Amino acid sequence: MSTLEAYARRSARREWWRDGLEASIYLVAAVGVALFVASGGLLVTAPIDHLYGLGRVAGIVAAVLVLAQITLISRAPYVERAIGHDRAAATHTRLGKVAFILMLVHVGLILVMNARYDGRSILSEAVALWDLGWFMVAAQVGLGLFTIVVATSLVAIRSRWRYERWHAVHLLVYLAIAAVVPHQFLEGSTFRDGGAAWWFWLVLYVLAVGSFLAYRIVRPLVLLARHDLRVAAVEPEPDGSVSVVMSGRDLDRLGARPGQFLLWRFLDRERWTQAHPWSLSRAPRSDSLRITVKPSGDASARLAHLRVGTRVLAEGPLGIFTDATRTAPGAVLVASGIGVTPIRALLDEAQAPCTVVLRVRSREEAPLIDEVEELAVQRGADVIVVAGPRGSGWGTAAGESLGALVPDVATRDIYVCGPVPWADAVVLDARAAGVPAAAIHRERFGW
């Protein structure tokens, strides 16, 4: 098998697994609805009764989507390796919006139909549901918490909040889920009899919540004990960024690859409650890891004051911005600003032909530029520095294009890392130059 055939086969397998993982969400929802229908949930005596059944179907699909959200953001390897952290997070957000709308439909239709059956007003019916048990009160509280989380996730609000504050409010979603779940098993007629549907939903909850607990809580604690990761050095860089070197035991067992990132939690009095995603800025070593961070907010600015010896809790490694996603032998690594960090790490293992394109305002403001140029010489890679004020595209007013800078760009993989609008412009330029969509890989900045 030729090298090109091997890359093509690997890419096809990855696409199949990724599409299959997303399709499974809709398959599970279909099974949940089928079990509801099989239990007699659509039994009606008048056409209007179908609205009650529709309300219950909306609740079932909403529950599946919420469980899918938990799984997607659980950092589980079978999710991360299939679709990558960026796509998992984006899908998580998209499903959350649909799930919330379905929750409102579920609650609205059930309230309206119950009020009709009982001859009450909708408000009186909402209060009367409390008489069914504590779990109905908890479900209403859960809906309120979901509303708060969705409202604070709207762009108009989220853009005005610090990440730490938004993240703290976003944690309410876990309380909301815990509040809503009991009513499904204790009140839903599909589940009360303990049949196939009961076991179906129990397995779903165990898998979703189990993945979350295993990979968001248990695994980071295990890694902390196994590797004893600690801050070994805090090194200011000429451009004003800061490199943090962390030492530990058997770090090769962590499985991190150049281009990936981890969620870092520095366990001192100031920072232990905060976890931030920062990319490795060089290939991981068996005894050390390094990140390089540009001061752009409170958390990144305070890194310069980290004390040597501080213990570090890490989640990951995360992301598929690695050599494993290659579809062709050659590569073009394109970075802007602090987006150079995973690009510099990828260069550690780069094989010719490889070209690095750095978009900078000036050399003085460019993080790790000297390291990149020195390493490129060692790896036999070319470096193109595009310096100057921003033009209408991704480059300067001169109007640089990837096709002009790298004539054979259409036969290579493109790795892009930098601010979202800039990276979007690079991707458009790459597509215009004939680069296939599957050969374009990016790491998104922002939250």
Determine the Cα–Cα distance for residues 26 and 206; give it in Å rounded to an integer: 19
pLDDT higher than threshold 60 for residue 447: no
**Same domain, yes or no, for 292 and 387?**
no
Residue pLDDT, tens place only, 402-437: 999 999 999 999 999 998 888 999 999 999 999 998
Confidence of residue 55 (pLDDT cuts 50, 70, 90): confident
Specify the pLDDT at position 370: 92
Assigned token pair, 103:
């929750």
Determine the Cα–Cα distance for residues 286 and 350; give it in Å rounded to an integer: 19
Confidence of residue 45 (pLDDT cuts 50, 70, 90): low
Residue 246: name the closest of 231, 225, 265 by CA: 231
Residue pLDDT, tens place only, 151-200: 777 765 666 666 667 777 777 888 888 888 887 777 665 565 667 778 88
Q: How many domains does the chain have?
A: 3
Return the residue matching tokens 């050390």.
Answer: 288
| Better pLDDT: 320 or 300 | 320
**Same domain, yes or no, for 271 and 358?**
no
pLDDT higher than threshold 60 for residue 323: yes
Specify the pLDDT at position 87: 81
**Same domain, yes or no, for 136 and 237?**
no
**Same domain, yes or no, for 29 and 91?**
yes
Return the residue matching tokens 């760009």.
Answer: 409
CATH number of the domain within which 11 lies: 1.20.120
Intra-chain end-to-end CA distance of the chain, in Å: 42
Determine the Cα–Cα distance for residues 245 and 227; give it in Å rounded to an integer: 14
Q: Which of 318, 351, 375 is the last residue of a domain?
A: 318
pTM: predicted TM-score of the whole model, two decimal places: 0.78
Determine the Cα–Cα distance for residues 229 and 231; give it in Å rounded to an integer: 7
Residue 227: name the closest of 311, 155, 170 by CA: 311
Q: Stretch 113-136: mean pLDDT, rounded?
A: 80
Q: Residue 42, Cβ neighbours under 10 Å: how many?
A: 16
Edge-to-edge strands, sheet with 261-266: 276-279, 261-266, 312-318
**Same domain, yes or no, for 57 and 162?**
yes
Q: Residue 231, Cβ neighbours under 10 Å: how many?
A: 20
CB 51 within 8 A of CB 114: no
pLDDT higher than threshold 60 for residue 1: no
Assigned token pair, 272:
């232990």
Determine the Cα–Cα distance for residues 257 and 280; give it in Å rounded to an integer: 9
Q: Residue 177, Cβ neighbours under 10 Å: how many?
A: 21
CATH number of the domain within which 369 lies: 3.40.50.80
Q: Which of 192, 217, 242 is the last residue of a domain?
A: 217
Burial class (CB in 10 A: 0-12, 13-18, 19+), 260: buried
Give me the percent of the chain exceeding a pLDDT of 90.
35
**Same domain, yes or no, for 89 and 104?**
yes
Q: Averaging pLDDT over each range in 113-122, 163-172, 355-364, which range is the top one? A: 355-364
Specify the pLDDT at position 155: 61
Residue pLDDT, tens place only, 212-262: 999 999 999 999 999 999 999 999 999 889 999 999 999 999 989 999 999
Determine the Cα–Cα distance for residues 283 and 347; give it in Å rounded to an integer: 8
Determine the Cα–Cα distance for residues 370 and 363; give it in Å rounded to an integer: 9
222 in any annotated domain: no
Specify the pLDDT at position 164: 65
| Better pLDDT: 386 or 157 | 386
Residue 444: name the closest of 422, 426, 420 by CA: 420
Q: Stretch 270-296: mean pLDDT, rounded?
A: 90
**Same domain, yes or no, for 210 and 242?**
no
**Same domain, yes or no, for 61 and 161?**
yes
pLDDT higher than threshold 70 for residue 3: no
Q: Stretch 437-443: mean pLDDT, rounded?
A: 87
Q: Stretch 393-402: mean pLDDT, rounded?
A: 81
Range of the domain at 350: 323-444
258 in any annotated domain: yes
SS3 265: strand
Confidence of residue 398 (pLDDT cuts 50, 70, 90): confident
CB 131 within 8 A of CB 110: no
Q: Which of 163, 195, 217 is the last residue of a domain?
A: 217
Confidence of residue 86 (pLDDT cuts 50, 70, 90): confident
**Same domain, yes or no, for 333 and 313?**
no
The mean pLDDT value of the chain amounts to 84
Specify the pLDDT at position 35: 83
Half-sphere exposure of 80 (CA within 13 A, CB side): 22
**Same domain, yes or no, for 201 and 109?**
yes
Q: Stretch 358-372: mean pLDDT, rounded?
A: 91
Estimate to the nearest angstrom the gap between the alpha carbon of 97 and the chain centroid.
16
**Same domain, yes or no, for 300 and 350?**
no
CATH number of the domain within which 239 lies: 2.40.30.10
CA dihedral 204, 210, 216, 221 (to 10 degrees): -170
**Same domain, yes or no, for 176 and 80?**
yes
Q: Stretch 98-106: mean pLDDT, rounded?
A: 89
Which of the residue ranges 113-117, 246-250, 354-358 would you say has the lowest mean pLDDT? 113-117
Specify the pLDDT at position 184: 74
